[in-house]
């Protein structure tokens, strides 16, 4: 609303100029055209601002650590009741979760959000894949409305992760009573074997491991107490095809400027 007010103020200035030179009557059509342009630009910019910030309190931990990290139970496409496969996703708005498109090799029907006090399970309405990299957006059937879960921030522009900033990713641990707890994994950015602006490669620190069940996990960093999404974990196998990695690197998709445009387009369209 503040953005729209500023644009309206600009229009008032233009009106004043027109009146000063006594051309108001002759310039009605031109003024109307200018007004339409301003409203169009203002609406577009306002929506863009909303998308990038998503929520005023995005990226803040509210007593539930990393409240944007979601568990995505996966179902096999052929009957296999003993199979237990899963991915991780990240809440980026009240109704959208971003994850790795590789998770869609399985059936994705719901998303779970866990805290010490609440389990929130939301059905997935549909999903959209970003063809340029391995990113996917899951649209939830209903908005996530809880004091315990909130979205992460999106970068406001093309994000160049600085090498001296160690990003984190997340994994889900399972308790003996089948409840879930989150664990943060600190990583170091390393050079990727393949040169690609859309890729980011990481190595876990301190003896931690990243496993295949962690695919889709956020690659995130803290900036002035605001957690921001820098990428999404895609591939967690090492050169020996082990399902967990502790010394080799893992690969993710960066949230580039083009990826941001895609995210904004999908959310605004729906």
**257 pLDDT above the threshold of 50:** yes
* CA angle 208–211–212, rounded 5-degree value: 170
Class of domain 69-269: mainly beta
Task: Using the structure block, give the residue that is written with the tokens 């997340």.
Answer: 170
Q: Work out the average pLDDT over 61-89.
A: 84
**60 pLDDT above the threshold of 70:** yes
Higher local confidence (pLDDT), 47 or 100 = 100
Residue 216 to residue 235: CA distance in whole angstroms: 9
For residue 163, the model assigns a pLDDT of 53
Q: C-alpha distances in angstroms, 83 versus 18, 31, 193, 211?
A: 72, 65, 33, 16
Find residue 219's DSSP bridge partners: 231
Boundaries of every domain in the chain: 3-56, 69-269
For residue 258, the model assigns a pLDDT of 92
Higher local confidence (pLDDT), 69 or 238 = 69
How high does pLDDT run on average in the chain?
Answer: 78
Higher local confidence (pLDDT), 62 or 28 = 62
Higher local confidence (pLDDT), 84 or 233 = 233
pLDDT above 90 coverage of the chain, percent? 40
Question: Which candidate, 185, 182, 213, 215, places its Cα nearest to that of 115?
Answer: 182
Phi, psi of 40 (to 5 degrees): -65, -50
pLDDT bucket at 61, cuts 50 / 70 / 90:
confident
Structure tokens at 71: 């568990």
Q: Work out the average pLDDT over 237-258.
A: 80
Question: Which of 85-99, 197-211, 239-253 bottoms out in mean pLDDT, i.e. has the lowest?
Answer: 239-253
pLDDT above 70 coverage of the chain, percent? 71
Q: For residues 34, 260, 152 and 229, what is the CA-based torsion angle, rounded to 10 degrees?
A: -140
pLDDT bucket at 101, cuts 50 / 70 / 90:
very high
**What contacts 255, CB < 8 A, 6 or more positions away?**
154, 155, 159, 229, 230, 231, 232, 263
Higher local confidence (pLDDT), 238 or 3 = 238
Q: For residues 133, 134, 135 and 141, what is the CA-based torsion angle, rounded to 10 degrees?
A: 140
Residue 232 to residue 91: CA distance in whole angstroms: 12
């Amino acid at each position: 609303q503040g953005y729209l007010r500023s644009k309206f103020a600009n229009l008032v200035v233009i009106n004043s100029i027109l009146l000063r030179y006594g051309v108001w009557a002759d310039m009605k059509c031109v003024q109307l055209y200018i007004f339409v342009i301003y409203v169009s630009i203002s609406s577009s910019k306002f929506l863009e601002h909303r998308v990038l910030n998503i929520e005023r309190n995005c990226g803040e931990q509210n007593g539930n650590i990393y409240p944007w990290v979601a568990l995505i139970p996966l179902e096999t496409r052929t009957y296999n009741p003993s199979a237990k496969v899963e991915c991780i996703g990240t809440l980026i708005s009240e109704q959208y979760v971003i994850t790795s498109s590789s998770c869609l090799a399985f059936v994705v029907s719901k998303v779970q959000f866990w805290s010490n006090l609440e389990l929130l399970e939301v059905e997935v309405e549909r999903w959209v894949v970003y063809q340029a990299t391995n990113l996917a957006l899951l649209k939830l059937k209903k908005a996530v409305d809880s004091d315990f879960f909130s979205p992460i921030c999106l970068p406001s522009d093309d994000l160049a992760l600085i090498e001296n900033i160690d990003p984190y990713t997340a994994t889900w641990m399972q308790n003996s009573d089948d409840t879930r707890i989150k664990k943060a994994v600190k990583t170091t950015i390393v050079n990727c074997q393949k040169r690609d602006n859309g890729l980011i490669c990481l190595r876990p620190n301190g003896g931690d491991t990243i496993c295949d069940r962690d695919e889709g996990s956020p690659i995130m960093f803290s900036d002035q107490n605001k957690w921001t999404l820098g990428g999404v974990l895609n591939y967690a196998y090492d050169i020996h095809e082990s399902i967990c990695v502790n010394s080799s690197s893992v690969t993710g998709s960066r949230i580039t400027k083009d990826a941001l445009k895609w995210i904004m387009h999908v959310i605004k369209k729906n």
